[in-house]
């Protein structure tokens, strides 16, 4: 309108307004050209401020003034490129600069709870260890053993019958008498009661006898099934695999009271009495 000569000269107020408009446009151009400042919102509604990033600059370019700084034409509707999805900033991880620990959580008396749990478990542990039957077995050890056994030499086993075996070299050796059981230092708590089928998995080895002798007699007897079996001589003794440590000294009267079994060897003749 100012370029038309026929038009009347602008009033002072109009000139002031034009100057103000120019100043505003220059200010807007300077702001958009600055890389540190985010782009001004172009729409009427509020827009979220983008973080300072290279992706924000293309959106701001159409609003910038020309290279010479001249006044841009009247503002046109700006077609903005699609705004890239703004990813949230990764939170600071513990230990990184600027990280602060989250606010303290209120107490829930966890210490007291732990104390009670400790106490209850201690009482339970004591209870399961108290013997509850006449064999001294506690609740913790009352389950049958057969599934729990570690197969090894020296394992003492008993099936449904009265026989007790000890495992040696993968063979079950029958312990032929209570004297032998005690003489070789076995204890009842070592005996594991298992299914007969479990015993059948093993080959049978030589029975374990205890040898009995009394001071006033030179004869040695093997105790088997409650009967004493006379061992004829030293070669037979050694041939049977016995050693002197197998011999248990007993009272002669006790030895005489034991009934005689077959001698070793069986053709040795009538057994002498101790």
Partner 1 sequence: MKDLSVIETILRNRYHFFVEIREGIGLPEKMRAMLISSIAFLALYGAVMGSTHSLWQALSSAVKLPVLFLATLIVCSPTLYFFNVLFGSNQSLTQNIALILTAITVTAVLLLSFAPISMFFLLTTSHYQFFKLLNVAIFAVAGGAGVLFLSQGMRVVSASGVEGAGARHMVLRLWILVYAFVGSQVAWTLRPFIGAPSMRFELFRQLGGNFYTNIIASIGEILGFVVVR
Question: Binding residues for partner 1, per CB under 8 A?
Answer: 93-97, 99, 101-102, 104-105, 107-112, 114-115, 117-118, 121-122, 124-125, 128-129, 138-141, 143-145, 147-152, 155, 190, 192
Separation in Å, CA 141 to CA 116, 119, 128, 130, 144: 26, 22, 8, 10, 8
Residue closer to partner 1 (CB basis): 67 or 98: 98
Give whichever of 71 and 137 is closer to partner 1, judged by the CB atom.
Answer: 137
Min dist CB 102 to partner 1, Å, is 6
CB 118, min distance to partner 1, A: 6
Q: What is the DSSP string of 185-238?
A: T--GGGEEE--HHHHHTSEE---B-EEEE-TT----EEEETTEEEEB--HHHHH
Cα 165 from Cα 173, distance rounded (Å): 5
Q: Which residue, 23 or 117, is less far from partner 1 as judged by CB?
A: 117
Minimum distance from residue 179 beta carbon to partner 1 (Å): 22
H or E, element range at 91: none
Smallest distance, partner 1 to C-beta of residue 222, A? 28
Measured from the CB atom, is 55 or 127 closer to partner 1?
127
Closest separation in Å from C-beta 227 to partner 1: 32
| Cα 227 from chain centroid (whole Å) | 55
81 in Cβ contact with 52 (< 8 Å):
no
Q: Residue 55 CB: number of other CB atoms within 10 A?
A: 13
User: What are phi and psi for residue 166, nearest 5 degrees?
Assistant: -125, 140
**Residue number with CB closer to partner 1 (15 or 141):** 141
If the CB atoms of residues 41 and 115 are measured against partner 1, the closer one turns out to be 115
Task: Report the SS3 class of residue 2.
Answer: coil
Q: Could you tell me the smallest distance in angstroms from the CB atom of residue 201 to partner 1? A: 10
């Amino acid at each position: 309108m100012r370029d038309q000569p026929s038009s009347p000269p602008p009033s002072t107020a109009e000139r002031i307004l034009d100057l103000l408009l120019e100043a505003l446009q220059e200010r807007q151009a300077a702001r958009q050209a600055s890389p540190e400042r985010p782009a001004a919102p172009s729409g009427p509604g509020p827009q979220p401020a983008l973080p300072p990033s290279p992706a924000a600059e293309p959106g701001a370019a159409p609003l910038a003034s020309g290279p010479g700084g001249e006044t841009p034409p009247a503002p046109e509707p700006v077609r903005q490129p699609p705004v890239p999805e703004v990813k949230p900033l990764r939170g600071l991880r513990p230990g990184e600069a600027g990280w602060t620990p989250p606010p303290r959580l209120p107490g829930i008396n966890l210490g007291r709870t732990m104390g009670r749990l400790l106490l209850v478990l201690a009482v339970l542990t004591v209870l399961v260890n108290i013997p509850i039957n006449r064999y001294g077995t506690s609740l913790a050890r009352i389950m049958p053993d057969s599934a729990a056994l570690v197969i090894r030499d020296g394992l003492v086993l008993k099936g449904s019958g009265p026989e007790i075996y000890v495992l040696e070299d993968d063979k079950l050796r029958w312990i032929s008498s209570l004297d032998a059981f005690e003489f070789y230092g076995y204890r009842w708590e070592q005996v594991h009661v298992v299914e007969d089928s479990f015993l059948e998995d093993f080959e049978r080895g030589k029975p374990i006898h205890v040898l009995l002798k009394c001071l006033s007699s030179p004869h040695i007897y093997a105790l088997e099934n409650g009967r004493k079996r006379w061992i004829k001589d030293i070669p037979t003794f050694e041939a049977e695999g016995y050693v002197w440590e197998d011999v248990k000294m007993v009272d002669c009267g006790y030895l005489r009271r034991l009934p005689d079994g077959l001698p070793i060897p069986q053709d040795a003749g009538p057994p002498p009495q101790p």
